Structure 1
Amino acid sequence: MLPYRSRTAVLVFLLPPLLLYGIAVLVPIVQSLVLSFFRWDGITAMEFVGLDNYVRMLTRDDIFWTAFVNSLGYLAICLILQLGGALVVASLLIGLRRGRELVKTLYLLPAVISTVAIAFLFQRMYALEPVGLFNQALAAIGLDGLQRAWLSDVGTVLAAVSIPEGWRFTGLYMLIIYAALIAVPAELEEAARLDGASRWQLFTKIRFPYIRPVWITTTIMATTYALRGFDIPYLLTNGGPGQASELVTTYMYKTAFSHTDYGYASTISVFIVIECLVAVGLIIVLLRRRADS
């Protein structure tokens, strides 16, 4: 559809980022795929084992499956906080008359704060001794019996490491959804109001269907990032206590750099890539099917 000179210009400008993407992303993925068929400790010669690493991962590694289930729980909590919170805040911002820019800035701040700073902040907030913010809040409303060391309790640690990640990117996704909401034609909303549509009907029948493509993209971003989540859980608990907060990503890291089993760690990394691709496919199919129904 473009004239020849325009196509040439597009190719010239696309080539550098495509090369950078290939070197920084695609080449490591291919290297991990090749390495996953070997047993290697990083020092001695690599030993070809074929599919043994994959068989071990799927049938003989209980820790991997514990980490996988934890990753699904981590994903669910992150999506509820990030997408649900972003949609609520963006919808409220539409009706805000003053201070809109200030609110957007405050919600976006966590996305630009250092990950290490966020981890240490929540570590102090979760603490039992000295008493952190969460336990202080429980004491203030008379729920002293619920106070606990949130990062040391097997029953709460997974949620505790998921909440900072959910909070961190809520503002970013809020801005994306907000930009989509303000692009909804005012004529459609005005016509719906004249027909007697309630606020809920206005949202479900006009606004949300209009922003569905943006919602699909945002859901894909949040899902893939949560499935690759590593830094905050690793800094807060390192997968503990036991394997209560172990994620596939933290398990892969420890397999590679603590146990120096780079072949098996590469197998886990290939699984993470496949997991993300499957998740993206499911999101696209489910959301588009719902849109068509």
Structure 2
Amino acid sequence: MTELTQSAVGAAPARPPRRRKPMSTSMLPRRSTLSVLVFLVPPLVLYGVAVLLPIVQSLFLSLFSWDGITDMAFVGLDNYVKMLTRDDVFWTSFGNALGYLAICLVLQLGGALLVAGLLTALPRARELVKTLYLLPAVISTVAIAILFQRLYALEPVGLINQLLAWVGLGDLQTAWLSNVQTVLAAVSIPEGWRFTGLYMLIIYAALMAVPRDLEEAARLDGASWWQIFWRIRFPYIRPVWITTTVMATTFALRGFDIPYLLTNGGPGQSSELLTTYMYKTAFVHTDYGYASAISMFIVVECLVAVGLIFLLLRRKDKS
């Protein structure tokens, strides 16, 4: 019986090898690709309608002279030539915008990094501290403007001037929003204070993801707290830091509401930003073509700033 079985098995024809199905060129299955498209297309359409389309419309309108009522007159690049060569207020606003950006970045990124670092060492009440720092980001802009108007006031004496009097620095009391020397910093501080908590939460989440084993090993090797931060923590959170820097930079370059509510660009043009100047040009002077040219400059300015950030950080990575 065994011999018959072996002979039958030996006589059976060999089965042909199974052909493997060709690998799909797509990284996702068909259903997964369809799902991604279903969820991705609506936001892209919304982004195109809400962001890209107004930019294209502003670019088109910047080539015309139009007061919103009469017929549009094509002027080509004259609005841009006027903006760059014949408008002193534009360049004053541009310089103020750079100063506004610098103050906001120092307060938002520096303050967020400092508070986030302190939170990682706080044994209790972390949630309470995070909530308190995040509150300004959800408060109405008008409420923040009114609050800082009261703080900066000279008559009646606001809290800042009152504190200066209490510590014996009464000679430094001034109308912070009316003084040409202090008004730019005065309108920048509320914006920096407002979003510090938001960036603090982002950086804090990144710091909590740093492996503790690396920090403990560095401490055992005798590393100082600065060496641990600069050599271990900061390189680990660098991608998050880049994203936060881009967010803070673009938001500051587009800052409008708080400076406009506090001073409306005054006194003179001491706190005039590109955004407030664009608004006045469009809705006060009804020169929509020239205002559109200023808006296109703001778009290009944001793109250049983001490009410089990535360029500088890429050079540091290579070095």
Shift of 1:7: 1.0
- Rounded to whole Å, the distance in 1 between the matches of 2:45 and 2:316 is 37
What's the counterpart of residue 292 of structure 1?
Answer: 318
Listed as ranges, the matches of 1:73-112 within 5 Å are: 73-112=99-138
Listed as ranges, the matches of 1:1-293 within 5 Å are: 1-293=27-319
The count of corresponding residues between Structure 1 and Structure 2 is 293
Q: Which amino acid aligns with 1:247?
A: L
- Rounded to whole Å, the distance in 1 between the matches of 2:28 and 2:312 is 34
SS in 2 for 1:222: helix
Shift of 1:196: 1.0
Q: Which amino acid aligns with 1:71?
A: A
What is the TM-score of this pair, normalised by structure 1? Answer: 0.99
Shift of 1:60: 0.3
What is the TM-score of this pair, normalised by structure 2? Answer: 0.91
Shift of 1:286: 0.6
Shift of 1:172: 0.2
Shift of 1:291: 2.9
SS in 2 for 1:174: helix
Residue by residue over 1:153-188, the C-alpha shift from the partner in whole angstroms, topping out at 9 and shown as x without a partner, is 000000000000000000000000000000001111
Q: Which amino acid aligns with 2:60?
A: V
Residue by residue over 1:122-158, the C-alpha shift from the partner in whole angstroms, topping out at 9 and shown as x without a partner, is 0010000000011001001000000000000000000
SS in 1 for 2:223: coil
SS in 2 for 1:151: coil
Is the radius of gyration larger for structure 1 or structure 2? 2
- Rounded to whole Å, the distance in 1 between the matches of 2:61 and 2:33 is 38
- Rounded to whole Å, the distance in 2 between the matches of 1:284 and 1:137 is 42
Residue by residue over 1:19-62, the C-alpha shift from the partner in whole angstroms, topping out at 9 and shown as x without a partner, is 11111111100000000000000000000000000000000000
Q: Which amino acid aligns with 1:55?
A: V
Segments of structure 1 that go 5 or more residues without pairing to the other structure are none
What's the counterpart of residue 13 of structure 2?
Answer: none
Shift of 1:8: 1.2
CA-atom RMSD in angstroms: 0.6
SS in 1 for 2:105: helix
- Rounded to whole Å, the distance in 2 between the matches of 1:134 and 1:127 is 8
**Percent of aligned pairs sharing the same letter:** 81
SS in 2 for 1:57: helix
Shift of 1:292: 2.8
Shift of 1:79: 0.1
Q: Which amino acid aligns with 2:35?
A: A
- Rounded to whole Å, the distance in 2 between the matches of 1:9 and 1:291 is 36
SS in 2 for 1:117: helix
Residue by residue over 1:223-253, the C-alpha shift from the partner in whole angstroms, topping out at 9 and shown as x without a partner, is 0000000000000000000000000000000
Q: Which amino acid aligns with 2:113?
A: L
Q: Which amino acid aligns with 2:218?
A: A
Shift of 1:288: 2.3
Residue by residue over 1:206-236, the C-alpha shift from the partner in whole angstroms, topping out at 9 and shown as x without a partner, is 0000000000000000000000000000000
- Rounded to whole Å, the distance in 2 between the matches of 1:10 and 1:261 is 44
- Rounded to whole Å, the distance in 1 between the matches of 2:258 and 2:313 is 29
